[in-house]
Every structure is written in C-alpha cells, then in structure tokens.
C-alpha cells in the first residue's frame, strides 16, 4: 500500500511540474497548488474556492495536503491545463475580458462559470448574452446628489453606437446618451461598497463623468461589462478598418493604473495641502473630494518624458503650506510643477511607479490632441 502511495505521489508531482500546469488555469497565478479531480485543471487557492461553489461541475483537492489515488492522478495526466484550455476556451470572443488574479471576485467567478458551467466558449458561433449588439435592462445607479442607489433603465445599442439610461421605465428621452467610443467601464466593488459594483466613465466636453452602478446578479453585471466591450470592438472595427483585432482589443475598457488618497496644494504652492481622492486613468490624473463624486474637481495631463514630463520623489526645497503627510511627489510638466504628499512611503513608491510607467511611454497622436486641449484650457 505504501509503495502504491509513493508511486501515485511521484506521478502526481511529475504532472504538476509540467510547464503547462505552472500557472492557474483560470487566473494565471503562478504555482497553483490545488486541482480539480473532475476537470483535470491545476488552479490556485482563490479559484479553488470558486470551483467549490459549483460542486456539480468541479471537485477540488489540495495537491499538497490531500490524497490522490492512481485513477485521479491518471485523469490529471490525461488532461491538465493545456487540454482544458483547448476545450473550454476554444472560441472566446476577442472582446471578452479574461480576468487575472488581480481582478475582483465577480469577474473571476463569472469567468469560471462561463467556461465550465455554462460552456460558453466550447462551440463556434454560439449566441451569447453579450454578443447581440444590443442590451437593455435595469441597473441600480447611484444618484449624483443624494448618493442613493435607484433602479434605472439602461440601453446599449451597437447600431446607434451609444449607451443611454432613463430615469423612468416609460421615459421617451434618455437622461444621458453617450457615444460608445468615449466610455470606459471598470469594476469597483470596494469603492462602491457592493461586490458587483461597476464604474462607468465617459467624456463630456472633454471632462470625465463617473456613473456608479451595480446589479444583484454577478452574471448580469459581467454580461453588461462584456456587452460594452463587444459594442466598442465592433464600433472601432468600422472606425479603424486597417487596425488589427489585437490593436482594437487594447483600446477597449481598461482598469485604472492607480487610485487612492493624496494631498495636494494649489498652483502658487503656498496654499494648505488638502486631502483628495486621485485616479490615474492612463494620462489623465483626476482628483475628487470624494471617491464617488460624479465629476472631478480637476485634471492633470501626464505626458511623456521626451515631451518634458517627469516625476520626482520629494518636494522642492522651501515648499510652504500646512503638511500633514510628509512623503512628497512632484510632477514636472512643461508649464508648471504639481506637488503632492502621500501618507506612507509605500503609497509614495506605488504612485511614483505608476507615474513613471506612464511618463516612459511615447504619446500617441490622440494623446497629443488631449495635451493641446489641456494647455488651451489652462
């Protein structure tokens, strides 16, 4: 019996060490140490918890702590992550967002359920709830002034190239009508205070407007998210016919590079530093009095190093103003310096890294136009 156990353990380790099984099959996290004995995939601890919630599809065991018999090990050897991907991810639409281990729970759970439970990607040309080019339904939207979440009808249309929402079910005119190419959507469960919280942003008169929504159903809110990406993808395919699918995919919804509190002072650099919520959306640094404000109190364009932009740790010598945080950052632009302070050194280093990543990238023609607008506005 002991020999059989040793043989199974050795065979398990050999399968586990295969290159294809070195990353979680669902989120890509390195060194997964769990596996599904019914699907034959190697997964991380976090994804194993999601699998455990669909026991009719997947039964999970620890590769380190649980016993695996010969038949189960042979099943893993026959399958593994490469075979799984070839089966369950064979026909993923180019626009579908495939989450990583850095993404929130609802995105990862619905990705796993879409693959294994609903088998959405196993057949070519399958009709999917986010691929019709139109989506209509109710989302709970946060009121701009009172902060209450109320049900609102939303309509997404590929034919019209826009997203609308209506304050009443029978309303003939929408409250907003936003072109699909200026929309971004990103999940914000912590900030919104709901596990299915989605932040929709769009440009209005070249200023960013935020809408905060959620739905009780995780599947429904993720379907909305991918429907927005689907409509955007097809819109951009028409607008940029020579662009590759991957180039267009990279222009769809994006996560913010960094968010959090910093303190800022005014342009004279003698005013008191005030605490504000900052969002870095690629080259737009926006600051808000409250994280759930609809409009930013101000925006700063962060250009490239070759165009005279840089970021420095610390503040210029002789900086005045009432400082409660002492980990400074200075953003240098061709026109002025922007001074910020962070609460901790870790925050300072994280913001410094985020700004550096943006500044080190060359600017696109569209970004030169945005920079020109910011200069004209100032």
Give the model's confidence band at 2: pLDDT under 50 very low, under 70 low, under 90 confident, else very high: very low
pLDDT tens per residue across span 237-296: 999 999 999 999 998 999 999 999 999 988 777 778 899 999 999 999 999 999 999 999
- Spatial contact of 301 and 355, defined as CB atoms under 8 Å apart: no
Task: For the domain covering 134-248, report its CATH number.
Answer: 2.30.29.30
Domain range list for the chain: 1-117, 134-248, 258-376
Topology adopted by domain 258-376:
PH-domain like (2.30.29)
Question: By percentage, how much of the chain surpasses pLDDT 90?
Answer: 78
pLDDT score of 377 more than 80: no
CATH class of 1-117: mainly alpha
Residues 41/47/53/59 CA torsion (nearest 10 deg): 30
Q: How confident is the model at residue 322 (pLDDT cuts 50, 70, 90)?
A: confident
* Tokens (6 digits) for 353: 């890294």
Same fold, 1-117 and 258-376: no
pLDDT of residue 292: 96
Cα gap 194→197, rounded to integer Å: 5
122 Cβ neighbours under 8 A, 6+ residues apart: 87, 88, 90, 91
**Residue of 325, 342, 187, 345 whose CA lies nearest to 260:** 342
User: What mean pLDDT do residues 44-73 have?
Assistant: 94
262: its two tokens = 């910093």
pLDDT tens sequence across 80-89: 999 999 999 9
User: What's the pLDDT tens digit per position in 176-212?
Assistant: 999 999 999 999 999 999 999 999 999 887 788 999 9
Confidence of residue 24 (pLDDT cuts 50, 70, 90): very high
How is 176-208 classified by DSSP, letter by letter?
Answer: EEEEGGGEEEEE-HHHHTSTT-EEEEEEETTEE
* pLDDT score for 367: 83
CB 110 within 8 A of CB 222: yes
Which pLDDT value is given to residue 12? 87
Question: H or E segment at 328?
Answer: strand 327-332
Buried b (16+ CB within 10 A) or exposed e, 8-36: beebbeebbeeeebebbbbbebeebebbb
The 10s digit of each residue's pLDDT in 88-123 is 999 999 999 999 999 999 999 999 999 999 999 999
Reported as a pLDDT band with limits 50, 70 and 90, residue 369 is: confident
Q: Give the pLDDT band of residue 3 (cuts 50, 70, 90).
A: very low
Classify residue 331 by its DSSP letter: E
* Predicted TM-score of the model (pTM): 0.91
pLDDT at 35 exceeding the cut of 90: yes
């Amino acid at each position: 019996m002991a020999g059989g156990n040793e043989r199974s353990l050795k065979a398990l380790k050999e399968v586990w060490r295969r290159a294809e099984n070195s990353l979680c099959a669902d989120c890509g996290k390195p060194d997964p140490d769990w596996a599904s004995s019914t699907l034959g995939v190697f997964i991380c601890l976090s994804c194993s918890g999601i699998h455990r919630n669909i026991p009719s599809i997947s039964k999970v065991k620890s590769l380190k702590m649980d016993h695996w018999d010969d038949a189960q090990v042979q099943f893993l050897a026959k399958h593994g992550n490469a075979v799984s991907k070839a089966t369950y991810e064979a026909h993923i639409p180019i626009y579908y967002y495939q989450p990583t281990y850095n993404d929130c729970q609802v995105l990862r759970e619905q990705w796993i359920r879409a693959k294994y439970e609903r088998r959405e990607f196993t057949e070519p040309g399958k009709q999917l709830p986010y691929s019709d080019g139109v989506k209509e339904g109710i989302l709970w939207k946060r009121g701009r002034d009172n902060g209450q979440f109320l049900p609102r009808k939303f309509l997404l249309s590929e034919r019209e190239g826009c997203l609308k929402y209506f304050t009443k079910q029978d309303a003939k005119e929408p409250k907003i009508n936003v072109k699909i190419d200026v929309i971004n959507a990103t999940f914000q469960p912590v900030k919104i205070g709901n596990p299915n919280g989605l932040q929709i942003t769009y440009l209005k008169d070249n200023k960013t407007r935020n809408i905060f929504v959620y739905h009780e159903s995780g599947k429904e809110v993720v379907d909305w998210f991918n429907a927005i990406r689907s409509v955007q993808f097809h819109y951009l395919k028409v607008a940029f016919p020579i662009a590759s699918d991957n180039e267009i995919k990279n222009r769809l919804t994006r996560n913010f590079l960094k968010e959090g509190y910093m303190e800022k002072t005014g342009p004279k650099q003698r005013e008191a530093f005030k605490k504000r919520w900052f969002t870095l959306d690629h080259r737009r640094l926006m600051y808000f009095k409250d994280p759930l404000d609809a409009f930013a109190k101000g925006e700063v364009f962060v250009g490239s190093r070759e165009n005279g932009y840089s970021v420095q740790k610390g503040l210029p010598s002789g900086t005045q103003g009432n400082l409660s945080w002492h980990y400074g950052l200075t953003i240098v632009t061709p026109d002025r310096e922007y001074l910020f302070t962070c609460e901790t050194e870790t925050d300072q280093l994280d913001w410094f890294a985020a700004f550096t990543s943006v500044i080190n990238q060359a600017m696109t023609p569209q970004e030169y136009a945005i920079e020109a607008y910011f200069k004209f506005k100032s």
